[in-house]
């Protein structure tokens, strides 16, 4: 036996080429999804104070932005509709006249199969009270009644040209309700990416500002998951898989790497993670204050989410990563 030490992990760290050869994890650019916010009107490109570098677009401007993004290699687009008119029944969530329907059909007509269009499906941006479901007279979020509205909206999105439906509401049984409705409408090949494991997180703050979707009173704790629970995440994931989900998602991402890793072990469906608005804002504002190198912390966070087991990542960094050739 020769002298100390025989094992020298540093040997494989001596040059960039050796480090790349030995690296276990790589972010895959083609598996990133860029979020977009659509608003009414025309020629609208609105800054969002809580999300530096992210904008709200009217449909005409949205088309231009998606075209630019496509040129830099972004194919996957998740869309949030932010209509002006809201009511108690979330009427604006579906139908040919709805903002999201017009956004989807315009983009699909323009870009065809070059783009993967993923409408987020939830009632919170469409209800006057800002809750993710219909309310009873006593203020309870009604699960099964909400599922019926979501299922109708899913069909409407599929007819408008959605490539994947992404329910983010966290009602029980909504994946099955949506699957059944899609199948009955002849959309049996439209996949569902379920926000299966969505926590009642404080990291959605900047998004709610962007979407004006904060609940007028109360919170989302009666449907989104308790942040203290990890085993329950497995129950949610199994449930969605059994109901016909095609992709499972964990949200937020960075504070829940343990949950991503556990689902990677237990589940066999493709696994996505959403690096949410508060995660993005924390890094973007830290960089603005001179406390972080934006490119480095963005790539490190995306690498960590990948290393934990996420194959698909929804991230507000997608555009910069592509446009500025961060990798």
Among 207, 245, 263, 283, the residue binding ligand PBG under the rule CB under 6 A is 207
Q: At what angle do helices 99-111 and 143-160 cross, to 10 degrees?
A: 30
Catalytic residue from among 75, 86, 187, 198: 198
- CB neighbour list of residue 178: distance below 8 Å, 6 or more residues apart: 121, 147, 150, 151, 154, 165, 167, 192
Q: Which is nearer to ligand PBG, 67 or 152 (CB)?
A: 152
Residue closer to ligand PBG by CB (options 132, 241) is: 132
Question: Closest Cα to residue 245, out of 154, 156, 309?
Answer: 154
Shorter beta-carbon distance to ligand PBG: residue 114 or 219: 219
Give the nearest distance from C-beta 275 to ligand PBG in angstroms.
8
Interactions with ligand PBG, residue window 57-86 (CB under 6 A): none
Alpha carbon of 155 to those of 41, 97, 131, 308: distances in Å? 25, 14, 21, 34
Binding part of the chain for ligand PBG, among 15-23, 203-211, 231-239, 241-249 by CB under 6 A, reads 203-211
Q: At what angle do helices 294-308 and 277-288 cross, to 10 degrees?
A: 150
Tell me, residue by residue from 215 to 254, as one string, x for binding to ligand PBG by CB under 6 A and - for no binding: -----x----------------------------------
Report the alpha-carbon distance of residue 76 to residue 268 in Å, rounded. 22
Q: Tell me which of 118, 132, 175, 181 binds ligand PBG, using CB under 6 A.
A: 132
Beta bridge partners of 116: 76
Choosing from 251, 264, 265, 325, which is the catalytic residue? 251
Q: Is 251 a catalytic residue?
A: yes
Select from 208, 223, 319, 322 the one that contacts ligand PBG (CB under 6 A).
208
Tally of CA atoms within 13 A in the half-sphere of 322 that contains its CB = 21
Catalytic residue flag (residue 198): yes
Q: How many Å apart are CA 287 and CA 3, to the nearest integer?
A: 45
Please list the alpha-helical segments (H only) found in 43-195.
Answer: 59-71, 99-111, 143-160, 174-184
For the bound state, the minimum distance from the C-beta of residue 317 to ligand PBG, rounded and expressed in Å, comes to 12
* Binding residues for ligand PBG (CB under 6 A): 120, 122, 124, 132, 168, 204, 207-208, 220, 276-277
Catalytic machinery residues = 198, 251
């Amino acid at each position: 036996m020769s002298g100390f030490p025989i094992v020298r992990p540093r040997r494989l760290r001596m040059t960039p080429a050796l480090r790349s050869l030995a690296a276990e994890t790589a972010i895959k650019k083609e598996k990133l999804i860029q979020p977009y916010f659509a608003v009414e009107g025309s020629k609208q490109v609105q800054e969002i104070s809580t999300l530096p570098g992210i904008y709200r677009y009217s449909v005409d401007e949205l088309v231009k932005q998606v075209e630019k993004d496509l040129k830099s290699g972004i194919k996957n687009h998740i869309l949030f509709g932010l209509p002006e008119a809201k009511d108690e029944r979330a009427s604006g969530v579906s139908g040919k006249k709805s903002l999201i329907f017009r956004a989807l059909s315009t983009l699909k007509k323009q870009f065809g199969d070059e783009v993967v269009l993923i409408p987020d499906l939830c009632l919170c941006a469409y209800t006057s009270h800002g809750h993710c479901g219909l309310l009873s007279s006593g203020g309870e979020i009604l699960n099964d009644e909400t599922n019926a509205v979501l299922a109708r909206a899913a069909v409407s999105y599929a007819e408008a040209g959605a490539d994947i439906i992404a329910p983010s509401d966290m009602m029980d049984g909504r994946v099955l309700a949506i699957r059944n409705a899609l199948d009955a409408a002849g959309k049996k090949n439209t996949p569902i990416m379920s926000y299966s494991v969505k926590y009642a997180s404080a990291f959605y703050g900047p998004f709610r500002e962007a979407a004006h979707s904060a609940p007028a009173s109360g919170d989302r704790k009666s449907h989104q998951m308790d942040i203290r629970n990890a085993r329950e995440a497995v129950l949610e994931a199994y449930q969605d898989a059994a109901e016909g989900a095609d992709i499972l998602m964990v949200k937020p991402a960075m504070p829940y790497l343990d949950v991503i890793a556990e689902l990677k072990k237990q589940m066999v469906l493709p696994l996505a993670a959403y690096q949410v608005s508060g995660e993005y804002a924390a890094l973007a504002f830290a960089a603005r204050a001179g406390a972080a190198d934006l490119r480095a912390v963005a790539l490190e966070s995306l690498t960590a989410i990948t290393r934990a087991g996420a194959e698909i990542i929804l991230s507000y960094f997608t555009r910069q990563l592509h446009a500025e050739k961060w990798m």
